[in-house]
Homo-oligomer: A and B are copies of this chain.
Amino acid sequence: MKSIQSISIIGTGNLAFHLGTSLVDEGVQIDYVFGRNEEKATALANRLHARSANKISEIESDLVLICVSDDAISEIIAQFPEQQKIAYTSGSVELDNFKNHKNVGVFYPLQTFSINRTIQLNEVPFLIEATNSDFSKELIDLAWKLSSNVTYADSQERKRYHLAAVWVNNFTNHMVYQAKTIAERNALNWDFLLPLLKETTAKASSMNPKDAQTGPARRNDNATIRAHEAMLKGMQKEIYTLLSKSIKDTYND
């Protein structure tokens, strides 16, 4: 079994950037970058000491790493010959979709990526799967270069991690976003909320979040809940009411 020495990247977004730069830092050669946006592809290729590919058929590497949105993965894979090793980075797309392709795998980092953040990949879990076991071993070896937390996970398990991740990241972030709009609307000092945000995560990481819950809904303090609802409207009010009900149900059932 030969290991993966060179990689081409399809996609130019946050994930392509973070995986690409981390791989280069680990001494992995990036051959090509391909993306619909030529300017972004050239910029990322330069950053990775790679070439920008004009079309997919130019690409030749030990591995093609697909970092694009879920609905574009299938169409890209279809353009490669069957012997080409290809891995995609989605939490939700099932490998079964590609069971007719000999060498397709999954290289999924369980993390949120934004362009201006430096991510320490070494503690990020990588969930790996492939249509054949030799290829999954190669992908696991590759992931080990980036992280000390690499595991095999089938498509169903990966989907469940992705679902949990939506709550841990996407929904918590949206709560913070809503808090910030409330702060801005009322000319509050947002910095005053940051020690609370920090302690919230510290608690959620070190205690059972069920035990960490505080606040009016936890205390069944309906007077405060009603006062808060009166300060909100539209979607924010709807969310406040539903989440307060859910918290009350959690503790009073």
Q: Which residues of A contact B (CB under 8 A)?
A: 14, 69-71, 91-92, 110-114, 116-117, 119, 123-125, 149, 151, 157, 159-180, 182-183, 186, 188-189, 192-219, 221, 223-224, 227-228, 231-232, 235, 238-240, 242-243, 245-247, 249-250
Contact B167 A224 (CB under 8 A): no
Cβ of B173 and Cβ of A204 under 8 Å apart?
A: yes
Is there an interface contact between A182 and B160, defined as CB atoms closer than 8 Å?
A: yes
Given contacts A92-B227, A188-B161, A235-B246, contact A175 B182 (CB under 8 A): no
Q: Are A125 and B192 in contact (CB under 8 A)?
A: yes
Q: How many copies does the complex hold?
A: 2
Q: Could you tell me if A203 and B117 are in contact, using CB atoms closer than 8 angstroms? A: yes
- Identify the interface centre among A111, A179, A186, A208: most chain B CB within 10 Å of its CB: A179
Taking a contact as CB atoms closer than 8 A, the residue among B170, B201, B207, B223 that contacts A198 in the complex is: B201
CB pair A228 B166 closer than 8 Å: yes
CB atoms of A196 and B209 under 8 A apart:
no
- Cβ of B221 and Cβ of A173 under 8 Å apart? no
A-B contact list, 23 entries, CB within 8 Å: A14-B214, A91-B224, A110-B193, A111-B196, A112-B199, A112-B215, A114-B212, A124-B195, A157-B188, A159-B231, A161-B193, A162-B224, A164-B188, A166-B228, A167-B178, A168-B196, A170-B214, A170-B247, A172-B175, A174-B213, A176-B204, A177-B250, A197-B205
